[in-house]
Structure 1
Amino acid sequence: MRTMQSHIAGKFRGWVQAVVAVALVSVIAACGGGGGGDSSSSSNNSSTTLNGGSLPASPTQQPIAATAANTVPITVGPGVNGVINIPTVSVTVCPPGTTSNCQTINNIQVDTGSFGLRLVSSVLNSSLLNGGLPISTLTSGAQLAECATFADGYTWGTVRTATVQIGGETTATGIPIQIIGDKASSTVPSPGCGSGSAENTVSDLGANGILGIGTAPNDCGATCANAGTAANYSNYFSCPGGTSCTRTAVPLAQQVANPVANFTADNNGVIVQMPPVSNTGAASATGTLVFGITPAGTQSNNALAAAQTFTTDAFGNMNNSVFNGTTVQAFFDSGSNAYFFADSSLAQCGSNFAGFYCPSAAQTRSITLGGLSSTRASVSIGILSASTLFSNSSNYAFNDLAGQIGGSSSFDLGLPFFYGRHVYYGIDQTLSGGQTPYVGF
């Protein structure tokens, strides 16, 4: 998840996570799965001419109604801090193993580019913060904390255990989550906890928390579980007495967990469904998050109906994609508020919209997506000048906003890609002999 920041006061303040979700994890190749030969996407919607240039046809799929137990509404709007293109849902947390003394928290960002639930401590009631959600401990008795590193900063806080409810779905037991900002800044390990500024408040995040529901069942995997790699790369820390925190290995069962993978049902994946929006933006957008994907799902509303599916690595990356003749790592990331990629032919904005593209005319770019299987699909995206889009200060939903990414090896298909589409994420179940991770649309 990667949300660009602009220097316009308030509205475009964002937070920037590493383009490979929780960048501390290693890339783990997954084998098998996926579809057959080459294919390409299409739409019946006509292309649009703007500012002397043209945009590709926009997809037109509509979300289903969020009325079933395995659904929850997604809202894009001003949110808690006026950040554009931030999709949010409501999440309920309870003390582990119970469904009482619970708290429902709104404005939690839906992030398919990360894994696990993270809540800002200030939004929790005192009952949950002061004992209701117990702090995880290691065999030594030390507190367990996590430093999740982002491209422009980090979040720091304890790992705790909670039962998580979203819509009508509930985790079977308490699962590890991160509470952001519940430890004093003096406890942040240095070196070892990322560079940049701390992003431990609602204002910093632009949301009350992050719901990471990508393809991985937890946020680090073998890198943090293996003592050899954890010594240098783990994002987990042992804090005896709550202080003097040092990097540590953590077994999978204690790592911050993808809640969906731990639901009692509908736990093999998610479908993110967003409505189409105007090429010049919309004040808001309401979509649907669907849990479970048939055939492994148990509902009639979650069939796998993707025109293209791609077997990915463990973290949802399509590593055999091609843009401008260069092989790139592409990924569908609802937690990014724009398309992010490197293209020197696109004019960048001035300081008011730093990091975004501001071409003088509408632009179209194409990328060929490729995962671990032989499936290939060409996708065209539209780009309008950020200054044109942001000229209407009432709009918060944009389908053609794009920005610069560091380097030329990644292509982030952020929230603009999701408008008018159903995007599928099959969770990695290979450790239990199940499905390999995949994405589709």
Structure 2
Amino acid sequence: MKTNLQFPQIILAVVLIALASSCGGGSTGAVSGSTGGSGGTGNNVAQLVVDAGPGGIGTVDLAFTTVTVCMPGTSTCQTIDHVQVDTGSEGLRILASVLTLPLPQQTSNGNSAFECTQFADLTFLWGPIATADIQISGESAKSVPVQIINPVTASPGAPADCSQTANQQLTQDGTVFDLGANAMLGIGSFRQDCGSACALSVIPATYYSCNSTGCSNATQTLTAQVQNPVWMFASDNNGVILQLPAVPDAGQTNVSGSLTFGIGTQSNNGLGSAVILPVDSNFANFTVQFQGMNFTDVNFVDSGSNGYFFLDSATLTNPPFNIPMPDCPKSSALQGFYCPNPTIPLSASLIGSTANGTPVGASRTISFNVASAQNLFNTTGTAFNDLGGESSGNFDFGLPFFFGRSVYTAIEGQSTPAGTGPYLAF
């Protein structure tokens, strides 16, 4: 899911608008990391880094890896670094300005297939669907539909239902600085980025058929949709494990971790002591109990968000919570982040959910801190375990949640030793 990007031009980390049934979306926590997947090295392990982003543009709390894309069926390839790893979405999306290969583009009804990807921070991505072979570490997937992210000046331009919503004009992201990365790698809970809804019906602001006269909304078959490449691997294709070490409360300049493919498929990716958190099969959400209240709508774990994003300052500050959680000053260009002083210690209980949102299973209590974003950004750190901000009415456990943990994401329909995905475990 798209996140806040770089400082000082940081925008609010928020939820990717759920388009259809298969779209997701202080201390290091009271629950320790699993002793299962060991990460490190192996043909199914890719290295992660949390740093200032491509060219040192100033990103914070974003995890990157390296991906190789190839012309389908050939050895003509390009290796792309600083690809953001996002467990809250599905599919590889590459900036056109970064891509040097002339990947073959898909067609839709005899025309070019395009996709719009809208975000709740009032931005969107727009560009054609292409096909590529993908290699990450020792794993590979063949003929994978991916999105090429067009710049604002490219033709055809985005249709009106893509560039605006509810009479609100959206901003198109089309540069490295906009995205905070060279590409986005969505390796979330689902196989495709939209699923059966887009295959069966025309869904506005999703897939399009475009020609020289313009673009029209279109259906997109499951196999032609942008795919989570992991489930297309020949093996180790049932999920991922994202592992990052604990970091100090004051932050750390650079952090190295690992992205391990497969759950229970090799000796380095077993579940170990990780405990399953059931998620609903439509959006991979779960229930959160906070300060005695249950929140059952759109709560998720997402490495693509760069903070703990939950509720809002007015809700937290007033009864029944009475937690002094001020927003950052508007003059600081940090709107959407919290700036409490001193740091606020908090806890929340995560409870599994069924497909209809009914809580299920035992709760998992985690502890976390929220520090002043203004103070954190005045350091040289790029990795923070206590960055937080607003997400009205719901909880988004972003990258700070991952520090000091092994977090498992099982993919829908894929068999694992703990059952069929989707589920989370940590």
TM-score (norm 1): 0.83
Shift of 1:388: 2.0
Q: Provide the alpha-carbon RMSD of the alignment.
A: 2.4
Of 112, 131, 142, 2:87 maps to 112
After TM superposition, list the pairs within 5 Å mapping 1:48-59 onto structure 2.
Answer: 59=32
Counterpart residue number, 2:336: 355
Q: Match of 2:275, as an amino acid?
A: Q
User: Closer, same or farther in 2 for the Cα pair 1:439/1:306, shift >3 Å?
Assistant: farther
Counterpart residue number, 1:86: 62
> Cα deviation per residue 1:385-407 (whole Å; 9 max; x = unaligned)?
11221221x110000110011x2
Q: Match of 1:109, as an amino acid?
A: Q
The answer as to whether partners of 2:13 and 2:309 remain within 8 angstroms in 1 is: no
User: Closer, same or farther in 2 for the Cα pair 1:56/1:377, shift >3 Å?
Assistant: closer
Secondary structure, counterpart of 2:197 in structure 1: helix
Structure having the larger proportion of residues in strand = 2
User: Closer, same or farther in 2 for the Cα pair 1:334/1:12, shift >3 Å?
Assistant: farther
User: Closer, same or farther in 2 for the Cα pair 1:16/1:253, shift >3 Å?
Assistant: farther
Counterpart residue number, 1:261: 231
State how far apart, in whole Å, the 2-side matches of 1:319 and 1:56 are.
18
Secondary structure, counterpart of 1:389 in structure 2: helix
**Structure 2, unaligned stretches of length 5 or more?**
318-322, 355-359
Secondary structure, counterpart of 1:123 in structure 2: coil
After TM superposition, list the pairs within 5 Å mapping 1:9-408 onto structure 2.
Answer: 11-14=7-10, 18-19=14-15, 21-26=16-21, 59=32, 64=38, 66-80=40-54, 81-98=57-74, 100-125=75-100, 128-129=101-102, 133-138=103-108, 140-151=109-120, 152-171=122-141, 173-181=142-150, 184=154, 186-194=156-164, 195-227=169-201, 230=202, 232-233=203-204, 235-241=206-212, 243-294=213-264, 297=265, 299-314=266-281, 317-324=284-291, 325-328=293-296, 329-342=298-311, 343-344=316-317, 345=323, 346-351=325-330, 352=332, 353-371=334-352, 372=354, 373-392=360-379, 394-405=380-391, 407-408=392-393
Query: Between the two proteins, what is the percent identity of the paired residues?
Result: 40
User: Closer, same or farther in 2 for the Cα pair 1:28/1:175, shift >3 Å?
Assistant: closer
The answer as to whether partners of 1:18 and 1:149 remain within 8 angstroms in 2 is: no
Counterpart residue number, 1:422: 406
Secondary structure, counterpart of 1:287 in structure 2: strand
State how far apart, in whole Å, the 2-side matches of 1:18 and 1:357 are.
14
Q: Does 1:411 align with 2:395?
A: yes
User: Closer, same or farther in 2 for the Cα pair 1:399/1:83, shift >3 Å?
Assistant: same
User: Closer, same or farther in 2 for the Cα pair 1:265/1:22, shift >3 Å?
Assistant: farther
User: Closer, same or farther in 2 for the Cα pair 1:28/1:79, shift >3 Å?
Assistant: closer
User: Closer, same or farther in 2 for the Cα pair 1:187/1:107, shift >3 Å?
Assistant: same
Q: Match of 1:365, as an amino acid?
A: L
Shift of 1:97: 2.7
State how far apart, in whole Å, the 2-side matches of 1:164 and 1:142 are.
25
Of 409, 420, 423, 1:435 maps to 420
State how far apart, in whole Å, the 2-side matches of 1:137 and 1:14 are.
36
> Cα deviation per residue 1:401-434 (whole Å; 9 max; x = unaligned)?
10011x21x2000000000000000000179xx8
Shift of 1:56: 6.2
> Cα deviation per residue 1:57-99 (whole Å; 9 max; x = unaligned)?
684679845321000110001112211111000000011233x
Secondary structure, counterpart of 2:127 in structure 1: strand
State how far apart, in whole Å, the 2-side matches of 1:14 and 1:253 are.
35
State how far apart, in whole Å, the 2-side matches of 1:18 and 1:358 are.
18
The answer as to whether partners of 1:223 and 1:234 remain within 8 angstroms in 2 is: no
User: Closer, same or farther in 2 for the Cα pair 1:15/1:260, shift >3 Å?
Assistant: farther
User: Closer, same or farther in 2 for the Cα pair 1:119/1:14, shift >3 Å?
Assistant: farther
Shift of 1:189: 0.6
User: Closer, same or farther in 2 for the Cα pair 1:335/1:251, shift >3 Å?
Assistant: same
The answer as to whether partners of 1:58 and 1:276 remain within 8 angstroms in 2 is: no
Q: Match of 2:209, as an amino acid?
A: S
User: Closer, same or farther in 2 for the Cα pair 1:14/1:22, shift >3 Å?
Assistant: same
The runs of 4+ residues in structure 1 deviating greater than 4 Å are 14-18, 55-65
Secondary structure, counterpart of 1:260 in structure 2: helix
> Cα deviation per residue 1:17-70 (whole Å; 9 max; x = unaligned)?
751x452224789xxxxxxxxxxxxxxxxx87xxxxxx9668467984532100
Shift of 1:347: 1.3
**Structure 1, unaligned stretches of length 5 or more?**
30-46, 49-54
Shift of 1:11: 2.6
User: Closer, same or farther in 2 for the Cα pair 1:426/1:89, shift >3 Å?
Assistant: same
Shift of 1:186: 4.9
Equivalent pairs, count: 393
Secondary structure, counterpart of 2:177 in structure 1: helix
Shift of 1:185: 5.3
The answer as to whether partners of 1:306 and 1:440 remain within 8 angstroms in 2 is: no
